[in-house]
A and B are shown apart, each in its own frame.
Chain A
């Protein structure tokens, strides 16, 4: 069976791979037999090999060197390009993070290939599905040059185990000077959250301008915590200083595709929809019955969020208790 290279994206906290990696391994199986590629500082692969094997990696290529993490993006693209040249895989699948997309782009230039970003599905013949224009249009596309490179949007595929050998194979890392131009001097974490990561969460509760203040976002957080959800925000809420930019959902923020999206005090502007329209179930709470978010909602409550949200949180907590 044809080999498909899957780039593993690791959790920044150092505990395993991100869920998107398991999704990528699952999606890659449509095209052939996945091999995982682990790129990072020495010692990176040891803790993730089993997980990669469990989700179908027949081989785990291990390219470990301090420089891989010391410089931005370019080293990863370079090592991956060497592997593509050596192994001639049927395709390369990469989780669709900002870094993943940039690696895909550089790899495309290096290997004379085409690439497709933010795909939500890959068919056996290589046709990919993409969602364009704020979720309004579904597109089918195909790479027509070189080795097809895909970046897979998070939460579009359900990760399914398929135990494989996961045989480790070391890859020598020797980088060109060009790959070592942009030094990562420091990685700074400003917000530590105990909540699930926004793009990976099964449930997202987002607040908008209607929440009215930073303090009042505590009612959004309380509802999120009762559901084990991530917290998001509209751009108006972010611009008003109610919630940090990292949590912005929409065209210029994160794209989320959870099982359940709860929009609280959000009007549903097209740029906000761009980031949440593909959510499986959408619930809206808004005091304006004409708010466009209701056009998307599977279930809507027309009411004041200040009474509806705390009451719902209380009832959910009571049910769980």
Chain B
């Protein structure tokens, strides 16, 4: 079973994140960049499937050179090798363009299963599996809280409001994972040392046969026109509870015509 895990490097969701006023793209150079936390669940699931079914786990990342940190993290968790697509022309690409790059990179790999996170915490789109399934003509089983692979079939429990949908599709397929699917492992010291020797293949747009003018900010399918910090809220009221906290709260709700 050959498994490819899609891993994105993103600005830490716990730190202050910004857009770059120069071109309105996510300020990645100045950010505290980490592996997209949601992708750790996809990596963990890939390792679990590999350990049951045999085969190899390949990490695939499209991102600037600094994204190697995210790749190393995935390798230190236990993935076998990585492909890193990096090309200055990709800067500022929209999701539609990025999906073309990932699809081209996937087409140069052998895979039975593609795993990705349910969403990247920077742009919070949750659309990559749909875009890739559409481009590659493979089944999309997104939002998995449970995955089983047997006899060439993928079965997924897709998390929904108040329950789940049981999905089934033939391999090869793309599956995105929610944070309810497993508990990602921490890289061991041995894993961290081993990761340093694992192969990371770097590819450019030329290697993928993609015309650079079709990706990047200038030809993106959507554009950020402007942005601003959300206006700060006016100072709120804060009262200590001296036995009358509930009463003051209800009076406030009444003043807002809520009760």
Contact = CB atoms under 8 A, between A and B. Distances in A.
Contacts of B246: 301, 307-309, 311-312, 314-315
B163 A190 contact: yes
A289 interface: yes
A285 B252 CA distance: 13
Contacts of B178: 252
A303 B240 contact: yes
Interface string A123-142: 00001000111111111111
B225 A142 contact: yes
Kindly name the residue among B140, B229, B240 whose own CB sees the greatest number of chain A CB atoms within 10 A: B140
B219 to A, nearest CB: 8
Contacts of A164: none
Contacts of A309: 246
A252 B19 CA distance: 21
Contact of B140 (A135, A182, A197, A252): A182
Nearest to B121: A251
B56 interface: no
Contacts of B61: none
Given A102-B140, A183-B169, A140 B226 contact: yes
B226 A74 contact: no
B134 interface: yes
B204 interface: no
Interface string A307-321: 111011011100110
B94 interface: yes
Interface in A65-123: 72-74, 77, 98, 101-106, 108-110, 113-118
Given A105-B134, A139-B19, A301-B241, A127 B221 contact: no
Contacts of A245: 159, 180
Interface in B62-116: 94-96, 99
Given A98-B126, A184-B166, A227-B259, A285 B137 contact: no
A146 interface: yes
B137 A178 contact: yes
A315 B245 contact: no
Given A186-B166, A308-B249, A300 B239 contact: yes
A189 B221 contact: no
Interface stretch (B44-52, B189-197, B230-238): B230-238
A106 B250 contact: no
B9 interface: no
Given A186-B165, A188-B163, A312-B246, A141 B225 contact: yes
Interface residues of A, number: 92
A307 B245 CA distance: 9
A170 B19 CA distance: 45
A246 B143 CA distance: 13
Contacts of A182: 139-141, 167-169, 173
A2 interface: no
Given A77-B134, A299-B237, 20 more contacts: A109-B134, A136-B17, A136-B230, A137-B17, A137-B228, A140-B225, A143-B222, A183-B168, A192-B162, A246-B159, A271-B14, A283-B252, A294-B238, A297-B236, A298-B236, A301-B249, A311-B245, A315-B247, A316-B253, A319-B259
30 contacts: A72-B158, A72-B167, A98-B143, A102-B142, A103-B130, A104-B127, A106-B134, A114-B94, A115-B96, A137-B17, A139-B224, A140-B224, A143-B221, A144-B222, A185-B165, A186-B166, A188-B165, A190-B164, A192-B162, A193-B162, A227-B258, A252-B38, A299-B239, A299-B252, A300-B237, A300-B238, A301-B246, A302-B240, A308-B246, A316-B253
Interface of B: 13-14, 16-19, 38, 94-96, 99, 118-119, 121, 123-127, 129-131, 133-135, 137-143, 158-170, 173, 178-180, 220-230, 233, 236-241, 245-250, 252-254, 256, 258-259
